[in-house]
Amino acid sequence: MWADGQFERWQQRMSAPENEFPGSAGISALLGRTADAAVGIGEFAGFSTGFRFTLAVRLRRPRPEFARGGLFGLLSAHVHPGVAIPPASRLLLGLEYADGRRADTLRDRRAEGPGSAPDDEQLLFTQQSGGGGDTSVDQTYWVSPLPPAGPVTFVLSWPSFGMAEIRTEVDGTAIRAAAGRSEQLWPPQPPDEPTPPPPAPRPTTGWFSYPEEPPKEGPAEG
């Protein structure tokens, strides 16, 4: 099915190592706010292979269209059969490293499975555990590998709530320092094996319309 060690390497890229206790980066930031909604990030934790953080979404009052888990659905990278969410309604989150590597919540790398195992330097941004109600959602994400020197730029877009491509920088050095304080608890354990769904539609314009990897420049013509 998969080459020797392929599944294990894929799982190591997709989530925080379970045999490590992370270091805290002490980072929090309000990404966007209107009279009726707010989106922020916090609880940054550094590991040897990447970092984890929590996205917090708050609404001033419940909306009928988001009843029974609808608000959480606007954050999800998974496209559920029979459920169509217009791009303007989705809460889109992306991040970009100082060296140009970028990733966003529209691509669900976990769903693609081990057959799509990326190289060690490709930036991965994967949805982890989360939950909430009609006015509050907390969603954790895993980012791998660790950022290089320089800022980590978060890009938020939620047009239906008046937030259009807001950029916020956090300190990549603080994230790396937190990773340096993580502790291995015991040797890695062999992983369990899961299964995959399809990719989310990408907007036709703006930051989120581009692929995660920046376009490569061709050779200069003489």
Average pLDDT estimate for 138-142: 94
State mean pLDDT over 204-210.
Answer: 84
Residue of 152, 195, 142 lying closest to 16 (CA atoms): 142
What residue type is 116 in one-letter code? S
pLDDT tens per residue, range 8-31: 776 778 889 999 999 999 999 999
pLDDT, tens digit (0-9, with 9 covering 90-100), for 94-127: 999 999 999 998 877 665 555 565 677 889 999 8
What is the pTM for the complete model shown? 0.77
